[in-house]
Chains A and B, each alone.
Chain A
Amino acid sequence: MAADTLTAQDYIAHHLTNLTLGLHPEHGLTFAHNAEEAAAMGFWALHVDSLLWSFGLGYLAYRFMRGVAQKATAGVPTGAQNFLEWIVDFVNENVRGSFSGKNDLVAPLALTVFVWVFLMNLMDLIPVDLIPYAFAQFMGLFGADPHHVYMRIVPTTDPNITFGMSLSVFLLVLYYSIKIKGVGGFASELTMQPFGKLGMPANLVLEGISLLSKPLSLSLRLFGNLYAGEMIFILIALMYGHNLLLDLSGMTLQLAWAIFHILIITLQAFIFMVLTIVYLDMAHQHH
């Protein structure tokens, strides 16, 4: 749709730029008008769109679950309770299967991760231009230039979001590693294996990498999958507006990719949850 007024590069870049609020070295506290401005803001900037969608979806999920939990009865479950119990049972079964220790945090954590990540991924199925375009037009009413209003609605395509969650999980892993094994136990786990005392530096390098790869792989896997998925939706969207044949093939491709993507978003949410459980299980195990 946008190919007439914008080049394909502009269109893609526009879709991959967050609505960034931050301190610009020259303009002060403001929304970035382009990717360069956003980059110039450095660390002290917020991706308002990612955060708002992430909070909104998290709050929605929490309100729903809280509402059901308040009315939950031991009688015959109906409607929403049935649905939530289905999810809770599913999560609980995974926790029981993968987590051998005893910790009341793990199951609710896994539930939050699964539901939240799934909802954030689900935003990917909304047509790529719909909300950004509507938002740009809406902001245009207030005098903003629609071409420089950014809106990314899939928070999990923002590495800040996925790293934020995986680092939280990583902190929990560190916390429980030290709590369960003690500082010495955890340190010896990092340095005394697999080669024994003499190979201490090599051990530290190997174990250190394996430890650090946990949050990295956790977040990059989710980010990569969703980013690639979104990119393909954007590329398919580029096919529209040229001729009938391209429009039709675009529609077909978009439908096919969306159907396939349902699998990916569910699978990625599931993987994030399972790995969270597994990492925490490893933190609870003595060697």
Chain B
Amino acid sequence: MNINLTLLVQMIAFGVFVAFCMKYVWPPIMKALEERTAKIAEGLAAAERGKEEQELGEQRALEVMKEAKTNASDIVSQAQKRYNEIVDEAKRDAVAEAERIRTAAQAEIEQEANRAREELRERMAQLAVAAAEKILQKEVDAKAHKDLIESFAKQI
């Protein structure tokens, strides 16, 4: 347990180690720690900003949705209107068409009736002529009495 040169050597070594630690160990570590502190602060600030932006975005989304809803209901009501119009138009067309068909049918019916009436008239004339023949028991010259027959037929 003698105090000797060891003491001085240890003092020198101590100084050397402290100097090396001060020059080569402490600064890089502290720099890394400070940089990390700055980074974390930055990250937190960015998170805060992100949060605000998200809130803004949500608000904006709500607005857009609201607008879209209004638009959609506008479109629906317009469509409804147009639908009604189309239905009305179709109804009118249908009524017109029906009228036209009815008119055409009526005309045809009238035509048919006229034709039938004509035919009937002729048949009656023939029958009348035949009846007259029988009554006169004599052959009537159809040609000679053509005027007579026709006037008769017209009277029917």
Q: Are A111 and B6 in contact (CB under 8 A)?
A: no
Interface size class of B (residues with CB under 8 A): 20 to 34
Q: Are B25 and A111 in contact (CB under 8 A)?
A: yes
- Over the window 57-70 of chain A, the binary record of Cβ atoms lying under 8 Å from chain B Cβ atoms (1 yes, 0 no) is 01000100110111
Residues of A within 8 A of B28 (CB): 69-70, 72
- For the complex formed, measure the closest distance between the CB of A165 and the CB atoms of chain B, giving whole angstroms: 5
- Over the window 22-34 of chain B, the binary record of Cβ atoms lying under 8 Å from chain A Cβ atoms (1 yes, 0 no) is 1011111111110
Residues of A within 8 A of B38 (CB): 74
- For the complex formed, measure the closest distance between the CB of B9 and the CB atoms of chain A, giving whole angstroms: 6
| B50 CB–A CB distance under 8 Å | no
Residues of A within 8 A of B8 (CB): 164
Residues of A within 8 A of B10 (CB): 50-51, 54, 160-161, 163-165
Residues of A within 8 A of B11 (CB): 164-165, 167-168, 171
In the complex, A154→B13 CA distance in Å? 17
Residue of A nearest to B16 (CB): A58
| A198 CB–B CB distance under 8 Å | no
Q: Could you say which of A22, A89, A165, A168 contacts B4, with CB atoms under 8 Å apart? A: A22
- Over the window 16-48 of chain A, the binary record of Cβ atoms lying under 8 Å from chain B Cβ atoms (1 yes, 0 no) is 100010100000000000000011011111110
Q: Could you say which of B1, B18, B27, B29 contacts A16, with CB atoms under 8 Å apart? A: B1
Q: Are B25 and A62 in contact (CB under 8 A)?
A: yes
Residue of B nearest to A219 (CB): B7
Q: Are B15 and A168 in contact (CB under 8 A)?
A: yes
| B152 CB–A CB distance under 8 Å | no
Residues of A within 8 A of B17 (CB): 58, 62, 112, 116
Interface segment out of the listed A100-108, A178-186, A189-197, A254-262: A100-108
Residues of B within 8 A of A22 (CB): 4-5
Q: Are B7 and A108 in contact (CB under 8 A)?
A: no
Residues of A within 8 A of B36 (CB): 74-75, 77
Residue in A46, A69, A158, A163 with the greatest tally of chain B CB atoms within 10 Å? A69
- For the complex formed, measure the closest distance between the CB of B20 and the CB atoms of chain A, giving whole angstroms: 6
| B112 CB–A CB distance under 8 Å | no
| B83 CB–A CB distance under 8 Å | no
Residue of B nearest to A42 (CB): B4
Residue of B nearest to A81 (CB): B32
| A159 CB–B CB distance under 8 Å | yes
- For the complex formed, measure the closest distance between the CB of A29 and the CB atoms of chain B, giving whole angstroms: 13
State the majority secondary structure of interface residues on A: helix
| A125 CB–B CB distance under 8 Å | no
Residues of B within 8 A of A42 (CB): 2, 4
| B3 CB–A CB distance under 8 Å | yes
| A136 CB–B CB distance under 8 Å | no
| B35 CB–A CB distance under 8 Å | yes
Residues of A within 8 A of B39 (CB): 74
Q: Are A62 and B6 in contact (CB under 8 A)?
A: no
* A65-B21, A159-B1 known; A164-B9 Cβ under 8 A: yes
Residue in A55, A74, A77, A161 with the greatest tally of chain B CB atoms within 10 Å? A74
In the complex, A224→B38 CA distance in Å? 45
In the complex, A62→B2 CA distance in Å? 29
Q: Are B4 and A44 in contact (CB under 8 A)?
A: yes
* A58-B13, A164-B11, A165-B14 known; A74-B6 Cβ under 8 A: no
> Can you sample 28 A-B contacts with CB below 8 Å?
A20-B4, A42-B4, A43-B4, A44-B4, A45-B5, A51-B6, A58-B13, A62-B20, A62-B21, A62-B25, A69-B25, A69-B26, A69-B27, A70-B28, A72-B31, A72-B32, A74-B32, A74-B36, A74-B39, A75-B36, A158-B6, A159-B3, A161-B7, A163-B10, A164-B7, A165-B11, A168-B14, A168-B15
- 19 extra interchain contacts, Cβ-Cβ under 8 A, other than A66-B20, A72-B32? A42-B4, A45-B2, A54-B13, A62-B20, A65-B21, A69-B28, A69-B29, A75-B36, A105-B22, A108-B21, A108-B22, A159-B3, A164-B6, A164-B9, A164-B11, A164-B13, A165-B14, A168-B18, A171-B11
